[in-house]
């Protein structure tokens, strides 16, 4: 009998795991099925294809990742290696990452505590992470101090806001002798644009709102963010390159990153096909209809992913706090650093390209 084409994959080998095995070997040889296999596929896709020099990589961050230390342990090394070119994050991740940058500590603990007791003792809990309530007050004070500075007394996009904040955070880290750089400080140094899709939905946004009540002039321009992120993707494509998205979690940052292509195609009328690579780590199901669980195949129907590039998409269903360190370790071992693209410095150029292409599209439709 002829062997079925469905039996052409590598054989599953139940060999024992040796002592002292590297993460790269563990993933390549022992993550053989189910979501271990999906994580292997995602990690290999990231290392083998997405990190080619011509690919512009956007990362989205959802869930309380930075309080667990993943900002400094994973996001920062990826930025420094040139493996992340632009970011969309919840404001909460950026806010909590700043705790470390200004000298505060968060503590490992158990989730099985009485939260009424914690409230009485002034202790904040993020599942199994505990920290002093005064950490929030100190971080709020730090952001309000920045927002009161003359350079913030106008309207700006969140990328510019975070870039300017990153300058101050980097200076504070240096003054305090903090060993491990924060996401915003590193993004500032490497000119990685950082966006927040819902800027009012975090303690940073709450402090911006409070300062507005006091008469300060900072306003965050979300329309600029929509156009700038679309311009980054269009700039990558018009420059002869490709676009990849690396999504941890889902929610608003996922959609904000993916909607760049519908903004280009559907709204601005510019000819484009979609992102070239799609990797997501999520615990959300597709059958509930939420965006967090929406598959790359579904994204194709919206124009978010290039239909011809669907084979270069992977979804791994597991906790981001498990996947991110594994993926980071793997790619840092497998790939040499890329030259940072410093996209923040090029935003005016990208915006000009977006405007010109939109004007051309308008002429075609008149």
102-130 burial, b at 16+ Cβ within 10 Å, e below that, comes to bebebeebeeeeeeeeeeeeebbeeeebb
Residue 363 Cα distances to 134, 230, 275, 330, 366, angstroms: 57, 20, 25, 48, 5
Q: What whole-number distance in Å separates Cα of residue 278 and Cα of residue 205?
A: 29
Q: Which of 10, 19, 167, 304 is catalytic?
A: 304
Give yes or no for a contact between 188 and 169, defined as CB atoms under 8 angstroms apart.
yes
Q: For strands 55-61 and 242-248, give the pairing.
A: parallel
Give yes or no for a contact between 50 and 85, defined as CB atoms under 8 angstroms apart.
no
CB atoms closer than 10 angstroms to residue 21: 11
304 is catalytic: yes
- Identify any residues that bridge with 56 across adjacent strands, giving them in sequence order: 243
The set of catalytic residues is 304
């Amino acid at each position: 009998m002829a062997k079925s084409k469905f039996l052409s994959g590598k054989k599953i080998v139940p060999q024992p795991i040796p002592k002292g095995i590297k993460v790269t070997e563990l993933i390549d040889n022992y993550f053989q099925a189910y979501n271990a296999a999906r994580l292997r596929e995602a990690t290999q896709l990231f290392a083998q294809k997405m990190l080619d020099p011509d690919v512009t990589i956007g990362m989205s961050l959802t869930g309380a990742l930075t309080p667990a230390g993943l900002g400094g342990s994973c996001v920062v090394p990826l930025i420094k290696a040139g493996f992340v070119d632009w970011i969309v994050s919840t404001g909460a991740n950026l806010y909590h990452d700043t705790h470390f940058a200004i000298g505060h500590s968060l503590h490992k603990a158990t989730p099985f505590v009485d939260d009424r007791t914690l409230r009485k003792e002034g202790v904040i809990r993020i599942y199994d992470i505990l920290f002093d309530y005064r950490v929030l007050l100190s971080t709020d004070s730090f952001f309000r101090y920045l927002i009161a500075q003359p350079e913030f007394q106008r309207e700006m996009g969140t990328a510019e806001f975070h870039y300017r904040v990153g300058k101050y955070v980097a200076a504070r880290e240096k003054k305090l002798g903090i060993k491990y750089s924060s996401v915003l400080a590193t993004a500032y140094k490497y000119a990685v644009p950082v966006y927040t899709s819902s800027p009012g939905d975090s303690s940073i946004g709450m402090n911006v709102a409070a300062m507005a009540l006091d008469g300060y002039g900072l306003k965050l321009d979300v329309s600029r963010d929509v156009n700038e992120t679309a311009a980054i993707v269009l700039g990558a494509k018009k420059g002869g390159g490709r676009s990849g998205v690396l999504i941890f979690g889902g929610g608003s940052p996922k959609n904000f990153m993916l909607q760049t292509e519908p903004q280009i195609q559907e709204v601005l009328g510019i000819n484009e096909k979609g992102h070239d690579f799609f990797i997501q780590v999520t615990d959300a199901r597709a059958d509930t209809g939420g965006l967090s669980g929406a598959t790359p195949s579904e994204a194709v129907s919206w124009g978010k992913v290039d239909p011809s590039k669907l084979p270069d998409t992977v979804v791994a269903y597991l906790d981001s706090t498990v996947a991110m360190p594994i993926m980071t370790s793997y790619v840092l071992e497998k790939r040499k650093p890329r030259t940072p693209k410093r996209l923040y410095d090029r935003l005016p150029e990208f915006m000009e390209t977006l405007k010109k292409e939109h004007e051309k599209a308008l002429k075609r439709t008149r």
